[in-house]
Amino acid sequence: MPAPANGVSPKFVSARGEILPLTGLRIVAALWVVVFHLRGNIASEYPGVAKVLWPILHNGDLGVDLFFGLSGFVLTLNYVDKMGHKVDRAKTRMFFWARLSRVWPVYFVTLNIAALWHGGLLALGSEDPVAPDEFTVLSYLRQLFMVVLWTSPDADRLTWNGPAWSVSAEWFVYCLFPFLVLLLARVGRVARNRQLMVLAMVAVFPVVIFTAAGGGLYGIDYTWMMRLLGAFVAGSLMCLVLRRIPRTRRTDRAGTVWSYVLIAGLVAIMYGAHAVDRPNAAVLVVFLFPPLLLALAMASGGPARLLSYQPVVTGGHYSYSVYLVHMLIIEVVWKAQSVWPGVLGGGQLAFHVLVPLLPVVVCVAGYLMWRFVEEPARKKMRRMVDTPLTPVTVSPPPVEPAGDRVPEKV
C-alpha cells in the first residue's frame, strides 16, 4: 500500500499505510447488514428495543452502499498513481489478480456451503426457508464466475448465499476500474475540491431518484448497477479530495468535528424519515456517506479514534467473511425454528436468548473463515504471481556402455 495521502491523520495510519478508521468502519457496515436481516427476529423478541432502533435496523441494507464507497476510496488511494496514467496490461493483470485473491476464496467456499445447504434440503424434500429462485448447474457456473448479477434486474433470491449478489456487483465494478481510474486521474488534475465533492453527490443522486420513482430501493430493475457504481465513484472522488488536503492541526480538528456532524446527520435522516412515515426517504443518507469517509480519514479523534482501536480494526479485516457467512448461519436458525418450534419458536426462552447472540456467533464464524480460509488463500494466490516460476531441468539417466552391460538372467 502506498504512503498515506496528505490529509490523512498520521495517528491512525498503520505501518503499511492502511487508514485505520476506514478499516474499522468496514465491520460497522457488515454488522449493520447483519442486524438488517435479523430485524424481524429482534422485533418479535425485543419489541421495545426494535421500536427504538427500528430506523437503524430497517435501513441496514444501506451498509452495502457504504461498503462500495469504502472500496472506491481505498482502491483509488492504492491505484490512481499506478494505473491512472495509461492502460498498462501488466499492471491491469496484477490488479485483477489482487482483487480476485481478495474476494474469490471465501466467496467460493461459501457458495459451495450454500449449495450443500439448499441441495440437501431439496434432496430431503424439506422446506427451504430462503429457497433460491434457480438451483441449476448454469446458475452455479454464473455464480462461480461472479457474473450472476450482471444480466439480472434484481438480486432477490438470485444467489444461493444471499449476500453474495453484491460480490458479483463488485466484480462488475472491478472490471470497469482500469478504465475508470484513467478518468478519475484526469478529473483529479483539473477539478477543484468543491467540484469533486459536487461530482460525488451527482454520482449517488440516481439511486435517490430511482428509489423515489420506484417506491423503494428495489422498485426499478437494474437499480443495483447505478446504486453501487455510484457509491464506488463517490468514494473514489472523495479520495481525490483527501490527496490534496494538507495535514495540519486545523484539518485534523475539522475531520473530527465533521465526523460527529455527519454521523448525527445520518441518524437524523433515518429517524426523520421514520417519524414522517416516509421510510424510503432514508436513502438520502447516501449523500452523507462520501463526506463521512473523507472526514474519518482526516480526523485525529472522536469516531476515528474509536474505529482505530485494534479490536475494531481486526474486525474490519475479517468483515468480508462476516458479511458472507452471516446468512448461512441465520438461515440454519430459521430452519431450526420450523423444525423445533417448541424450543426455538418465537417467544421461546432459548430463541429469546439466541437472538442477541447471533451477531456474536456470526463474528466468530467470520473470524475463523478469515483466519483459516480468506487470509491464507489470499497470500497463496498473491505468491502465485509474486514468485517467478523456475524452470525445472530433468537430466536423462546415464547410459552405460554396451560392452559393460551385464545380461539379465532369464
Q: Is the pLDDT of residue 137 over 60?
A: yes
What does the buried/exposed string (b/e) look like for 109-134 if buried means 16 or more CB atoms within 10 Å of the residue's CB?
A: bbbebbbebbeebeeeeeeeebebee
pLDDT band at 300 (very low <50, low <70, confident <90, very high): confident
Provide the pLDDT for residue 409: 45
For residue 396, the model assigns a pLDDT of 61
Query: What's the mean pLDDT in 309-317?
Result: 97
CB 121 within 8 A of CB 93: no
Helices (H) and strands (E) in the chain, counts: 17, 0
Task: Name the CA radius of gyration of the chain, rounded.
Answer: 25
Q: What is the DSSP letter of 19?
A: B
What pLDDT is attached to residue 75? 97
pTM for the model stands at: 0.91
Contact present, 7 and 245 (Cβ < 8 Å)? yes
Task: With a cut of 50, say whether residue 405 has pLDDT above it.
Answer: no
Q: What is the pLDDT of residue 407?
A: 44
Q: Which residues pair with 19 in a beta bridge?
A: 13
Q: For residue 287, is pLDDT > 90? A: yes
